[in-house]
Structure 1
Amino acid sequence: MCSSCTDFQKKTVSFGCSAFLVLFAIVLGSLWPTLSSNLLREKLVIKNGSVNYQNWIKTPIPMYLEIYMFNWTNPADLHRYPEVKPNFQEMGPYVFQEVHERVNLIWNNNHTVTFNQRRTWHFVQERSNGMLNDTVTNLNVISLNVAYLLRNADAIKKFAANILIDLDGSLLWHKKTVQELLFDGFSDTLLEVLKTLNDTVRIPFDKFGWFVNRNLSETYDGSFTMNTGEDSLENTGLLTLWNGASHTGMYKGSCGDVRGTTGELWPVMHSNKTNVTIFASDVCRSLTLQYGEEVIINDVEGAKYVGDERVFDNGLKYAEAACWCNSKPEQCPDVKPGVFNASACKFDSPTFISYPHFYLADASYREAIDGMKPNRSKHEFYIAIEPHTGIPLDVRAQLQINMLLQPVRGFKLYEKVPELMVPMLWFTQRATLTTELANQAKMALMLPKLGIYVAIFFGTTGILLGGIFAYLAIRKWSDQVPYEELLR
């Protein structure tokens, strides 16, 4: 304090500083909730330069696609069913590093952005249990599809198709490599026939492979339109359109609605104990996950949401799921619970989706074959989310692809086969929050409290200093007053 100032000036400055600190604390404490909310909003809204935009435009979390193939070990015994059950041996995992990038962005005037998604996969040998040249035996999907699509055709078409299947087809693919069955694909004469069977179906590939033509494709997943969160952070990441429409046109009523997020970005939630919905373009539908439990990932608290038996119900247990059935009303439900008929999404092929190893599905699916070992810890579909920021903490998106083998009249290969739901492969999309992103999340979560702590510090400091100054002033004043005057 200045040495040339009078006592009165020193007291004025001292008490003024104390009052300023207290006033600053009051103002900061009053305004900080609004300021911190605006700061957080600037980080979470999807726009150029925001933290959420940078995390969304290209996936920052290391993501892996783990694929398990099913090898049919005893196909020669098929016609001895049910005396000898088909046995399937799980192979893998074959692990691929997966990167998602958003491209072709169009910013709309209604707080939405339209974009395409480019996915890239690279094989990771050191994480895999097997090589891409491993061989697999399982159903011949192309022959199966020809017979299935012509199951109700006239005798002439069946006869012609039967000849082609006899010449170029088979019931099984023997010793196809994992690389061929996944990303490389392979040519098949019957595939050309399949492409001409139905004028309404346009199969966009010349080779068969479960992931053929998908690596680096910017169009395979379609176009998405989602909320940016500019109007409300509770809408961030929620899809409004897929391929320009709010309804897929593939399933009836609300089951065909485009709902939820793509899975990497989530809105801010005020309550953990709610449901969340993912729109999975792979199966052209939404998947609603139920609240499970509280979890902690890298010291960040979150809520775990789980895919339960409702996801693949067909109206038998949950009435609201009845619209997933595309058959005639009198034929619904057309499959037992736990398996979803995805034929509308897969060019009308007999493709069915379930959890791995028919986890949570009707017991008859796994009892009809050998090799299925459903296990919650291995096969549960879940995602963990930090609700206040919408940051995904841990992802295990797990699905199994099955093909329906059934008798088809007019096709020698299929006339006497048993009806079986045959597992082809299952996959896991796996991602866990990194330490760096966990620190970002913790900083964002601390932001609302940080200003209050600062306000409390300055307020307390101001009050303490004011008290000290008052004590010193009173003491100095009392020391200056004669003792006789204090006794009067």
Structure 2
Amino acid sequence: MCLFSQSLPATVPVLRSYIWASKLLLKLEAVLEEGTIAFKNWVKTGTEVYRQFWIFDVQNPEEVAINSSVIKVKQRGPYTYRVRYLAKENITQDPETHTVSFLQPNGAIFEPSLSVGTENDTFTVLNLAVAAVPHLYSNTFIQGVLNTLIKKSKSSMFQKRTLKELLWGYPDPFLNLVPYPIPTTVGVFYPYNNTSDGVYKVFNGKDDISKVAIIDTYKGKKNLSYWLSYCDMINGTDAASFPPFIEKTRVLQFFSSDICRSIYAVFGAEINLKGIPVYRFILPSTAFASPRENPDNHCFCTEKVVSKNCTVFGVLDISKCKEGKPVYISLPHFLHGSPELSELIEGLSPNEEEHSTYLDVEPITGFTLRFAKRLQVNLLVKPAKKIEALKNLKQNYIVPILWLNETGTIGDEKAEMFRNQVTGKINLLGLVEIILLSVGVGMFIVFMISYCACRSKRVN
């Protein structure tokens, strides 16, 4: 009599239960709820985040203003600030919708040891207030009145400003003369310190882990009111983390208030980061491509004069997001941009290694363990006959003001903790799966031998 079926060990169900329990544990730790690993790192990042700035110092301001010459710029930097060091505020869980809302406080601390100079270093840059006048006031009479104030304040197309003034704000002499109440402080990132980004409302993943960290609303809305059609949608997460179990084929969508839109990244490479295997996702050139190359971008095309019927690519008009100010966003040095963008700018040299954006994401948990967010702030300047400082210009300029590199990398201590609490369990899970497979194969072989032996005995 063959008793093989009664001698099977109970290993298989035990191992299967272990695998199921391990995967469940990983899912539970990814939920944005008090006590989880994800929540602890989400409230306040343990990674030091820095924002480096390179300023485009204009070398020939008078030639440009008088003769409408090519603008010669010299990149100066980096000037480094520590950012995102403040914990999220007003964190509120909503059990009914399985969401959590919060504010992200803004703050920047200058880091002299990581900078080439001080906050008092001066640069020749575009006059932000003067350049904006033709865009904010198209009426020629009003332009004439404002021109009188520009001349009285001795303002011109270009100005000298310190790093601190340019970034965080300064009282503009021209705007101070305007006889009706308007904001008179100007700066590329003014206001920033002591402000907050949000309110964000994101899914906590408690009911559906595939939605964890995905933004439900921003400032109470599901759309931005800046763009047409689906371009106006708020998609994905804030890029700090993504739903777990990421595959290389996935397109990672995320929203950035800095560029006033949702954007995406695609798989680029596998990388080992401090002993942790991660997937590098990169911002592709198609993200800022013209609608002719990427039809999905047609609703980001806004300005016919600059875009030449949507054929110019590599630059995004976010003026509607900036109260009408002619702000244009691009990758640094117009990387992946149309050649005509840099025809009037001398001194640019784009390259992928220094100027591309990427996210290094741990694929099992979905946590972003390293990132480099790079973008360039530009202003559109156009001729204006009633503004003496701009009347000699013969063409439109997309003038680069600065570019920034915001970076963060998981620290050594956090990396060790991650390896022990997460990667180690994942490796053990993989080992268990291999053992399970080996046991299964071994048991199948034993079963076949036993089966053949039984058949042989019966035949005999």
Change beyond 3 A, Cα 1:355–1:327:
closer
CA contact (8 A) 2:276 2:423 kept: no
- Cross-structure match for 2:445: none
Separation in 1, partners of 2:93, 2:308: 42
SS in 1 for 2:286: coil
- Which digits, 9 at most, give the CA deviation of each residue in 1:17-63, with x for residues without a partner? xx99x54x444312112211221122110001111101010111111
Is 1:213 matched up with 2:191? yes
- Cross-structure match for 2:216: 240
Q: Superposition RMSD on alpha carbons, in Å?
A: 2.8
Equivalent residues in 2 for 1:177-216, closer than 5 Å: 177-183=162-168, 185-191=169-175, 206-216=184-194
Change beyond 3 A, Cα 1:80–1:316:
farther
Is 1:118 matched up with 2:94? no
- Which digits, 9 at most, give the CA deviation of each residue in 1:424-452, with x for residues without a partner? 00001111122333334334234255368
Is 1:36 matched up with 2:35? no
Separation in 1, partners of 2:241, 2:300: 26
Is 1:132 matched up with 2:132? no
CA contact (8 A) 1:146 1:194 kept: no
Change beyond 3 A, Cα 1:38–1:211:
same
CA contact (8 A) 1:112 1:227 kept: yes
SS in 1 for 2:201: strand
- Cross-structure match for 1:3: none
Aligned partner of 2:53 among 60, 67, 71: 67
Is 1:174 matched up with 2:174? no
Is 1:424 matched up with 2:408? no
Give 1:334 deviation, angstroms: 4.9
Change beyond 3 A, Cα 1:334–1:414:
farther
Change beyond 3 A, Cα 1:100–1:81:
farther
Aligned partner of 2:237 among 255, 261, 275: 261
Aligned partner of 2:90 among 93, 99, 104: 104
CA contact (8 A) 1:228 1:237 kept: yes
Give 1:106 deviation, angstroms: 1.8
SS in 2 for 1:142: helix
Give 1:350 deviation, angstroms: 0.9
Which of these two proteins has the greater Rg computed from alpha carbons?
1
- Which digits, 9 at most, give the CA deviation of each residue in 1:338-390, with x for residues without a partner? 01101011111111000001111011222222110111111011111111111
Give 1:169 deviation, angstroms: 5.5
- Which digits, 9 at most, give the CA deviation of each residue in 1:66-85, with x for residues without a partner? 01111101111115657x52
The AA in structure 1 aligned to 2:331 is Y
CA contact (8 A) 1:148 1:349 kept: yes
**Poorly superposed stretches of 4+, deviation over 4 Å:** 79-82, 192-197, 451-457
Give 1:193 deviation, angstroms: 7.6
- Which digits, 9 at most, give the CA deviation of each residue in 1:87-136, with x for residues without a partner? 10111100111124211112122111111101222111111112111101
Aligned partner of 1:439 among 400, 416, 420: 416
CA contact (8 A) 1:314 1:324 kept: no
Is 1:315 matched up with 2:291? yes
Change beyond 3 A, Cα 1:162–1:118:
same
Instruction: Tell me how many residue pairs correspond in the alignment.
Output: 428
Identical-pair percentage: 25
- Cross-structure match for 1:300: 276
Change beyond 3 A, Cα 1:354–1:196:
farther
Change beyond 3 A, Cα 1:195–1:268:
farther
Give 1:295 deviation, angstroms: 1.6
Change beyond 3 A, Cα 1:454–1:143:
closer
Give 1:422 deviation, angstroms: 0.6
- Which digits, 9 at most, give the CA deviation of each residue in 1:451-475, with x for residues without a partner? 6857969x99xx9xxxxxxxxxxxx
SS in 2 for 1:367: coil
Give 1:311 deviation, angstroms: 1.8
The AA in structure 1 aligned to 2:300 is W
TM-score normalised by the chain length of structure 1: 0.81
TM-score normalised by the chain length of structure 2: 0.86
CA contact (8 A) 2:67 2:392 kept: no
The AA in structure 1 aligned to 2:258 is D
Equivalent residues in 2 for 1:329-478, closer than 5 Å: 333-334=309-310, 336-417=312-393, 418-442=395-419, 443-448=421-426, 450=428
CA contact (8 A) 1:252 1:326 kept: no
Change beyond 3 A, Cα 1:196–1:300:
farther
Gapped runs of 5+ residues in structure 1?
1-18, 198-202, 464-488
The AA in structure 2 aligned to 1:113 is V
Separation in 2, partners of 1:120, 1:187: 20
Change beyond 3 A, Cα 1:452–1:365:
closer
- Which digits, 9 at most, give the CA deviation of each residue in 1:192-249, with x for residues without a partner? 688979xxxxx8x65212223312323xx22111111112222111111111010001
- Cross-structure match for 1:47: 33
Aligned partner of 1:78 among 53, 64, 69: 64
- Cross-structure match for 1:6: none
The AA in structure 1 aligned to 2:345 is I
